[in-house]
C-alpha cells in the first residue's frame, strides 16, 4: 500500500534521511523505531506528503506522492489520519469543534450529521460527554484521545502515529496502545507508528523497522527484533549507551 524507495532528505547541512526504503502492506501495523532526532517524524511526513524528498520516491496505492501538486495531495491526505505527538488540537476550539473541523472542511454533511459522527468517534476513543471542554481542560492522555477521534473522523484507510505514548505515564501510555490496537481491528486500517518506546512497539506492531544513520538497518517481527544479533539494535532496545573509550 505504501512504498518508500531510497529517499534522501537534508535540511541545510544536516543529512537526516540517507536512502530509506520501506514497504508497508495493506492492513499491516508497522512501527519505525529509533533514537530521538534520527528522522522518524521526517519519514512520517514524507508518507503523507508534508515533505518532499530530495531524492527517491514515495508511492501510496501506486501513485507517486512525491510528484503530486497540492490539490492532488489534499485528495490523497483525506485517506490518511494522523495523530501528532502533542495531539495538535486547536486551542481556541472546544473538543466538538476540533473533531468536526475536517468534516466541515472536506464534506458537505449538515450539522446534524457532523454531530452524529463527532459523538460516534469520541465514543470510540472513550471520550463521551466532553464535547464542550477546551483543550486546556484536558490531561495529556485525554488530548491524545481527542486527537485520535479527529484523525478518524473522515474514515481514513491509514492512520499515522507520531510518538503516540510520549509524555504519558506507563498506564496512560498503555491505554493509548490499546486504543491503537482497537482502531486497527475495528476500522481495518493500515497503521504506521514511529516511536522510541519499545514496550509500545512490541505491543502494537506486526513488523518493526529500525531507523539509524538515515537508513533502515533492521526489519522484522517483534520477536525477530527482540532476538536480533545486531549490536546497534540490541543497544537501542535494551536502552544501553555505547561504551566510550576512556581518555589517557
Kindly report, residue by residue over 94-115, the tens digit of the pLDDT.
999 999 998 998 888 999 999 9
What domains can you pick out in the chain, each with its CATH number? Answer: 1-78+190-240 (3.40.50.300)
Query: Does 177 score more than 80 pLDDT?
Result: yes
Kindly report, residue by residue over 134-167, the tens digit of the pLDDT.
999 998 889 989 999 999 999 999 999 999 988 8
Average pLDDT over the chain, rounded to an integer: 91
CA–CA gap between residue 140 and residue 138 (Å, rounded): 7
CA–CA gap between residue 68 and residue 76 (Å, rounded): 9
Q: Are 200 and 168 in contact (CB under 8 A)?
A: no
CA–CA gap between residue 39 and residue 34 (Å, rounded): 8
CA–CA gap between residue 136 and residue 205 (Å, rounded): 32
Average pLDDT over residues 113-123: 95
pTM recorded for the entire structure: 0.89
Query: Does 22 score more than 90 pLDDT?
Result: yes
Q: Which residues of 9-20 are buried (b: 16+ CB within 10 A; e: fewer)?
A: beeeeeebbeeb
Kindly report, residue by residue over 38-96, the tens digit of the pLDDT.
899 999 999 999 999 999 999 999 999 988 988 899 889 889 999 888 778 999 999 99
CB half-sphere exposure, 17, CA atoms < 13 A:
27
Amino acid at each position: 500500500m505504501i512504498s518508500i524507495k531510497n529517499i534522501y532528505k537534508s535540511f541545510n547541512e544536516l543529512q537526516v534521511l540517507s536512502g530509506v526504503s520501506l514497504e508497508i502492506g495493506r492492513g499491516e501495523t508497522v512501527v519505525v523505531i529509533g533514537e530521538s532526532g534520527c528522522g522518524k517524524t521526517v519519514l512520517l511526513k514524507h508518507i503523507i506528503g508534508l515533505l518532499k524528498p530530495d531524492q527517491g520516491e514515495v508511492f501510496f496505492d501506486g501513485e507517486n506522492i512525491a510528484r503530486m501538486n497540492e490539490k492532488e495531495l489534499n485528495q490523497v491526505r483525506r485517506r490518511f489520519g494522523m495523530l501528532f505527538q502533542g495531539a495538535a488540537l486547536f486551542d481556541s476550539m472546544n473538543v466538538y469543534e476540533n473533531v468536526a473541523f475536517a468534516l466541515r472542511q472536506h464534506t458537505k454533511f449538515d450539522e446534524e450529521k457532523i454531530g452524529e459522527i463527532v459523538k460516534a468517534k469520541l465514543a470510540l476513543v472513550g471520550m463521551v460527554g466532553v464535547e464542550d471542554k477546551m483543550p486546556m481542560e484536558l490531561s495529556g492522555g485525554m488530548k491524545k484521545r481527542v486527537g485520535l477521534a479527529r484523525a478518524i473522523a473522515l474514515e481514513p484507510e491509514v492512520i499515522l502515529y507520531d510518538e503516540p505514548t510520549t509524555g504519558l505515564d506507563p498506564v496512560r501510555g498503555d491505554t493509548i496502545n490499546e486504543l491503537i490496537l482497537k482502531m486497527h481491528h475495528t476500522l481495518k486500517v493500515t497503521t504506521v507508528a514511529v516511536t522510541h518506546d519499545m514496550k509500545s512497539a512490541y505491543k502494537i506492531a506486526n513488523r518493526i523497522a529500525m531507523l539509524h544513520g538515515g537508513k533502515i538497518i533492521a526489519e522484522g517481527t517483534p520477536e525477530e527484533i527482540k532476538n536480533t544479533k545486531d549490536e546497534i539494535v540490541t543497544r537501542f532496545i535494551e536502552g544501553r549507551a555505547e561504551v566510550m573509550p576512556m581518555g589517557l
